[in-house]
Amino acid sequence: MRGIAAVRWRTSRLALRAFEEGDEAEFVRVLEVSKERWTPWVPARPEDWSPRDQFRRELHRSAAGAAEGTHLRLGAFLDDGRLAGLFSLNEIVRGVFQNAYAGWSVSGDLIGQGLGTEGVRALLEIAFTPFPAGLGLHRVQANIMPANAPSLRIAEKVGFRREGIAIRYLQIAGVWEDHVTFAVTAEEHEPSSRSPSTAGEPGSSSRSPSTAEERGPSSRSLP
Ligand SMILES: CC(C)(COP(=O)(O)OP(=O)(O)OC[C@H]1O[C@@H](n2cnc3c(N)ncnc32)[C@H](O)[C@@H]1OP(=O)(O)O)[C@@H](O)C(=O)NCCC(=O)NCCS
């Protein structure tokens, strides 16, 4: 089985790919412009937190997760090189489960343009497309705080099925928050954009980058 590090995906506006060394500036820019929008929905930062350190951690987590086949963490780039968001499939388990937890965040300066929906649709395509273009999973889950209306709307639009409420599920901004749990399986999934991408497409260059946020616990809907 080929490793998942090479998975890339193209939508009408986004090129999704793993972060590279050259992405630091864009990553840092996005974290800075997104701080206000993201803070209520992500784990509290340690006191010595810095966007640059977070980029180093992101590169490490991405490489380690791809090597082990347990995490696919992608930046979504516009054709002009700007980082539009972070999308991930985390805690990938094989065997009889074939499951991952989806996570997503859109850059604070690009919210409200449908990019979150576009990126999450791509995540589901990646999850359910067989190897080697996708991950060939059976189930994708997402967990969203009840007050996060835009994320709940995305889950609904892309075909997640609401399964219930997980009480005090994750510690977000220092508080154990309930989450609405969602899932979609391969049988339910309706394919949308099917376009595994190749190296060299827009967004795959090192023009920029910076990134964004640590999606926090991977078992949640944050990239
Ligand atoms: C959640 C997030 C990814 C949405 O990104 P986005 O690109 O603005 O999302 P989209 O434009 O694709 O879709 C948002 C949908 O929510 C709707 N929406 C926005 N605010 C809303 C509100 N207050 N109440 C109800 N619906 C709302 C929009 O109208 C849109 O639905 P529509 O297409 O039917 O009109 C972005 O706000 C974000 O990164 N937030 C911070 C991090 C985060 O919460 N991550 C997810 C954790 S579970």
Per-residue pLDDT tens over the stretch 72-122 = 999 999 999 999 999 999 999 999 999 999 999 999 999 999 999 999 999
Residues 6+ apart with CB under 8 A from 130: 136
Judge contact between 26 and 219, C-beta under 8 A: no
Minimal-distance CA residue to ligand 1 atom 17 = 150
Mutate to test the pocket of ligand 1, among 11, 31, 35, 117 (most ligand atoms within 8 A of CB): 117
Nearest alpha carbon to residue 174 among 45, 31, 37, 64: 45
Judge contact between 162 and 129, C-beta under 8 A: no
Residues of the chain with pLDDT under 50: 1, 198-219, 221-222
Minimal-distance CA residue to ligand 1 atom 32 = 153
70 part of a folded domain: yes
Identify the sign of the CA torsion 85, 43, 175, 170: positive
Find out whether the beta carbon of 76 lies less than 6 Å from any atom of ligand 1.
no
Structural domains counted in the chain: 1
8 part of a folded domain: yes
pLDDT of residue 31: 97
Nearest alpha carbon to residue 4 among 156, 133, 162, 165: 133
Find out whether the beta carbon of 182 lies less than 6 Å from any atom of ligand 1.
no
Q: What's the CATH number where 56 sits?
A: 3.40.630.30
155 part of a folded domain: yes
Q: What is the C-alpha to C-alpha distance for residues 175 and 61, in angstroms, rounded to an integer?
A: 24
22 part of a folded domain: yes
Q: Angle 14-205-88 (CA atoms, 0-180°, nearest 5)?
A: 45
Minimal-distance CA residue to ligand 1 atom 34 = 153
222 part of a folded domain: no
Instruction: Supply the range of the domain harboring residue 25.
Output: 4-210
Please give the distance, rounded to the nearest whole angstrom, from the Cα atom of residue 154 to the centre of ligand 1: 6
Judge contact between 191 and 125, C-beta under 8 A: yes
91 part of a folded domain: yes
Task: Report yes or no on whether pTM surpasses 0.85.
Answer: yes
119 part of a folded domain: yes
220 part of a folded domain: no
